[in-house]
Structure 1
Amino acid sequence: MSVKIQNLKKRYKDQWALEDINLDIKKGEIVGLLGPNGAGKTTMMRAITGSLSLDGGKIWIQGLDNQEEAFKIKSLIGYLPENNPLYTDMYVKEYLTFVANIHRIDIKEIEKVIEKVGLSPEKRKKISQLSKGYKQRVGLAQAIIFNPEILILDEPTNGLDPNQIIEIRQLIQELGKEKTVILSTHIMQEVEALCSRVILLNHGKIIQDKSIEEFQGKFTNLEEAFFEYTR
């Protein structure tokens, strides 16, 4: 298993953000993590990356305990958070060089990743000058530049125009052939287009964990399933 979660619990004051989460995700799966706002999706993603302390349970990444081996885990996971924190006073290529140096990556990889995410026309601009869509591409570039085993993407097409969405979806599909991808989005068509499996969270618990075909066989579309299970 790429990711194994056992009896995961996370609490904020008197409220459970995650409660008794059990999950196995294999290499090569593109998993859609769905749920209403406040369901626990971002908390789960942050817990997997090792950036949160846990109130119970265990998470293993490639067989490594992500609390005991936190430094090693961070070299295995590429993470694009929803708010996409960037150093906006840096130039695109300068920023990606900075990220590459942190991961001790050959600087030759920078041009490759810039081309892969479609940043070539903007690579000499300051990040602050970019549109929201291109900033999102910079965030995706920093997540994949060091060739991680696992990609965690929180709203990866946020702010992109329809053509850019198609391009990024194609890139995610390509990456999913050799990596584990965990994807959170509110765009149901995106999940239907990309994911082989859907995990539905509500009130900090997994309420459904099925292949996309199982959802499609029972409901007209994923939007209908989402409404039925979470209303």
Structure 2
Amino acid sequence: MSNTYAKIIIQGSPISKSNFKLSNKNGRSILPYNSGKYHDRYAIYEEQIAYEARLQNPNTVFTESLIAILKVYYKSEKRHPDTTNIPKSIFDGIEKSGLIINDAQIRRLIIEEYYDNKNPRFELELFGESTHYMNYEIREKQISSPPIEYSAPPNKKSQSISKPKKKTTDSNKFCCEICGKSIKKEDAIFANKGKTILCHNCLKRLF
């Protein structure tokens, strides 16, 4: 096979390790695969990618810069990892396969998200830049389609943004807008037509 094109298809729901962090006693990041824990799946997934990528492209080794087209097919439209976090696991596995020398070779990347509840997978195409170039455009639709709406993650819905109160229960005391500390009216510094209240220490830090 020519070393200017390769295609890899890996069956199963794509997973992301973007938020996974595990270190050994020396502080070095590790990716365990035989601890019997849930996080073994990250290393096992990379090994699966490495094995099948090499099996599907037995005589291909890329040494030049590459263009990558990644199509990710999830089981569910609502429950799946962030697509922007998916490439890290995939390209780490592709690098382990020996198909590429380093994932830094990927200089151009397009990611497309799809849904297939019967056959979740990802399909990756690699093109050598010496023989291929990328040409894409974004057009406005003549007829709009229903938007795919997103909501905040469950762990963020209950969070509220708290703002420092300008006044305390004592009408002669105020709170600094920056540090939130209580200050007496005579020690308060008013700015922005009285809408902003600062203490002397925070004012000094600003200059």
Bigger strand fraction: 1
- State the TM-score bracket (shorter-chain normalisation): under 0.3
With the length of structure 1 as denominator, give the TM-score of the two structures.
Answer: 0.20
With the length of structure 2 as denominator, give the TM-score of the two structures.
Answer: 0.22
Higher Cα Rg, which structure: 2
Bigger helix fraction: 1
